[in-house]
Amino acid sequence: MAKIRAAKGAPYARIMGVGGYRPTRVVPNEVILERIDSSDEWIRSRSGIATRHWANDEETVSAMSVEAAGKAIADAGISPEQVGAVVVSTVSHFAQTPAVATEIADKVGTRKAAAFDISAGCAGFGYGLTLAKGMIVEGSAEYVLVIGVERLSDLTDLDDRSTAFLFGDGAGAVVVGPATEPHIGPSVWGSEGDKSETIKQTLPWTDYRVGDVAHIPLNARGEVKFPALTQEGQAVFRWAVYEMAKVAQQALDAAGISAADLDVFIPHQANMRIIDSMVKTLKLPEHVTVARDVEHTGNTSAASIPLAMERLLATGEAKSGDTALVIGFGAGLVYAATVVTLP
Amino acid sequence: MAATQKEIVDGLAEIVNEIAGIPVEDVQLDKSFTDDLDVDSLSMVEVVVAAEERFDVKIPDDDVKNLKTVGDATEYILKHQS
């Protein structure tokens, strides 16, 4: 049997740079209230959200990603040609094929980097980070661009008073590269497909084919209702707070980090109430900086963790070298938690 | 040993006080969590989880929506506590 030579990877991996893109249009709760019977106070008390960004026609999934990725590459201090793979997590790129990652890899200026999309909902960033770490340690790429990007405004039912205010658009990116010491802990990740109905798209696209026209839902104005995100609020809240607190603790334990060693907590920015309750359930010490980007960004699914990370570093609330616990969780249900050193 | 009705109401009052800041004496059997005690749907989940721990009972998500009043919750716990 012939002997196959293996690739030679780096001993460890780390996040080297982060970048974000927030669409130019800031949407306050007043705009949401034009379509639903609610109030600014109600929305803020249930979600902590005051404003979110909605993308315009030019701010496509690809365009937002290229902006965020360019910043991450500059922050990492590498050149685009050094990027060996581009992993894009999104649930709101509405062309099934080809993967949007290939266009992004080209426009960012990589040299024909491997590029593909993944679908892991709000855990997408952690899934992408886990893949990137594996590629770097295994040796199939030296630098990997991980992008979380969403245009959830396209998947929002603006007439649904329980979800209309939740979602936003944006892109967050990190460059993951080689390291001589561990700067990304073990991933605690998984799926719970028995709860797949808890968060989902209302209808599959195939229901909109001509011939199935009788099934196409219309809104009160007689317009075709696009598929939208829907969720069982109480079930999601219970799972996110109590089950995900256990996963977060497992990620800390796996990395050998105690809560006292932790500087920063960056949970998926789903809802301020979830974040507050998670912090309480995890009994995080006072000194831990908690990302609360959801107030001005809404829930941007796969983009939320890198966007929150970028803002904490930009405002000085967190600094390079800080130890951060990141955890994503959402539709699937899926989750991914790990401890990282901030770039 | 299983809790009595009074112990459950007192326990729920402490939980609601802790989570929503409602005075314990306001938590009475006929009070609605949402309408009278200002416990919203997400705080209700926190109340339920705290009650599960305190009274060693499982309250599935599907049953939570039926617990409109303190009396509903008390009755549910009395019936299902182990």
Tracing tokens 């716990």 back to the chain, one arrives at B77
Name the pLDDT band for A107 (thresholds 50, 70, 90): very high
Helices A272-282 and A40-47 pack at an angle, to 10 degrees, of 30
pLDDT per position as a tens digit, A171-199:
999 999 999 999 999 999 999 999 999 99
Tell which CATH classification among 3.40.50.670, 3.10.20.740, 1.10.357.10, 3.40.47.10 matches the domain A188-197+228-341.
Answer: 3.40.47.10
Task: Look at chain B and report how many structural domains it folds into.
Answer: 1
* Cα Rg of chain A, angstroms: 20
Q: Is A46 on the interface with B (CB under 8 A)?
A: yes
Q: Given A122, A271, A287, A296, which residue is catalytic?
A: A122
B58-76 residue pLDDT tens? 999 889 989 999 999 999 9
Per-residue pLDDT of A240-271, as tens digits, reads: 999 999 999 999 999 999 999 999 999 999 99
What is the extent of the structural domain holding B70? 5-80
What is the nearest CA distance from B58 to chain A, expressed in angstroms?
Answer: 13
Q: What is the mean pLDDT of residues A204-218?
A: 78
Q: What is the pLDDT of residues A27-51, one digit of tens each?
A: 999 999 999 999 999 999 999 999 9
Does the active-site annotation cover A271?
no
B78 touches chain A (CB under 8 A): no
Of all residues in chain B, the one with the smallest CA distance to A281 is B46
Q: What residues are paired with A144 via a beta bridge?
A: A85, A176
- The pairing of strands A83-89 and A289-290 is unpaired
Encode chain A in three state secondary structure.
Answer: CCCCCCCCCCCEEEEEEEEEECCCEEEEHHHHCCCCCCCHHHHHHHHCCCEEEECCCCCCHHHHHHHHHHHHHHHHCCCHHHEEEEEEECCCCCCCCCCHHHHHHHHHCCCCCEEEEECCHHHHHHHHHHHHHHHHHHCCCCEEEEEEEEEHHHHCCCCCCCCCCCECEEEEEEEEEEECCCCECCCEEEECHHHCCCEEECCCHHHHCCCCHHHCCECCCCCECCCCEEECHHHHHHHHHHHHHHHHHHHHHHHCCCHHHCCEEEECCCCHHHHHHHHHHHCCCCCCEECCCHHHHCECHHHHHHHHHHHHHHHCCCCCCCEEEEEEEECCCEEEEEEEECC
Which residues are registered as beta bridge partners of A230? A200
pLDDT score of A207: 83
pLDDT in tens, A273-329: 999 999 999 999 999 999 999 999 999 999 999 999 999 999 999 999 999 999 999
Catalytic residue selected from A268, A271, A287, A296: A268
Mean pLDDT of A212-228: 82
- Residues of chain A found within 8 Å of residue B45, distances taken between Cβ atoms: 234, 237-238, 241
Three-state SS at B80:
helix
Residue B20 touches chain A, beta carbons under 8 Å = no
Closest Cβ opposite residue A238 in set B40, B49, B65: B49
Whether A122 is a known active-site residue: answer yes
Q: Do domains A12-179 and A188-197+228-341 have the same CATH topology?
A: yes
pLDDT higher than 80, residue A114: yes
pLDDT band at A83 (very low <50, low <70, confident <90, very high): very high
Round to whole Å and give the CA distance between B63 and A235: 11
Are the beta carbons of A203 and A217 closer than 8 angstroms? yes
DSSP output for B26-77: G--TT-BTTTTT---HHHHHHHHHHHHHHHT----HHHHTT--BHHHHHHHH
User: What is the C-alpha to C-alpha distance for residues A9 and A178, in angstroms, rounded to an integer?
Assistant: 8
| Cβ A110 vs Cβ A174: under 8 Å | no
Mean pLDDT of chain A: 95
The per-residue pLDDT for B38 is 86
Domain edges within chain A: 12-179, 188-197+228-341
Q: Give the up-direction half-sphere exposure of residue A142: CA atoms within 13 A in the CB hemisphere.
A: 9
- Exposure string over A14-42, b if 16+ CB within 10 A, otherwise e: bbbbbbbbbbeeebebebbbeebebeeeb
Within 10 Å of residue A119's Cβ, how many Cβ atoms?
A: 14
- Whether A268 is catalytic: yes
Please tell me what DSSP assigns to residue B17.
H
Task: Look up the CATH number of the domain holding residue B50.
Answer: 1.10.1200.10
Residues A60-80 have pLDDT tens digits of: 999 999 999 999 999 999 999
Partners of B46 on chain A (C-beta within 8 Å) are 241, 277
Chain A contact for B44 (CB, 8 A cutoff)? yes
Q: What is the pLDDT of residues A128-167, one digit of tens each?
A: 999 999 999 999 999 999 999 999 999 999 999 999 999 9
For testing contact with chain B, the best of A166, A238, A244, A272 (most B CBs within 10 A): A238
pLDDT of residue A305: 98
**Residue B46 contacts A, CB cutoff 8 Å:** yes
pTM of the model: 0.93
Positive or negative, the CA dihedral B63, B69, B73, B79 is negative
Reported as a single tens digit per residue, the pLDDT across B6-58 is 899 999 999 999 998 899 999 999 999 999 998 998 999 999 999 999 999 99
What is d(CA A62, CA A76) in angstroms, rounded to the nearest whole number? Answer: 21
Contacts of A241 in chain B (CB under 8 A): 45-46, 49
Q: Is A235 on the interface with B (CB under 8 A)?
A: yes
pLDDT grade, residue A212 (50/70/90)? low
A54 pLDDT higher than 80: yes
Give φ, ψ of A264 to 5 degrees: -140, 145
In this prediction, residue A219 carries a pLDDT of 84
Q: Which residues of A touch B48 (CB under 8 A)?
A: 238
Helix (H, G, I), strand (E, B) or coil at B3: coil
The pLDDT of residue A165 = 95
pLDDT at A211 over 70: no
- Residue A28 tokens read as 């306050």
Does domain A12-179 match CATH 3.40.47.10? yes
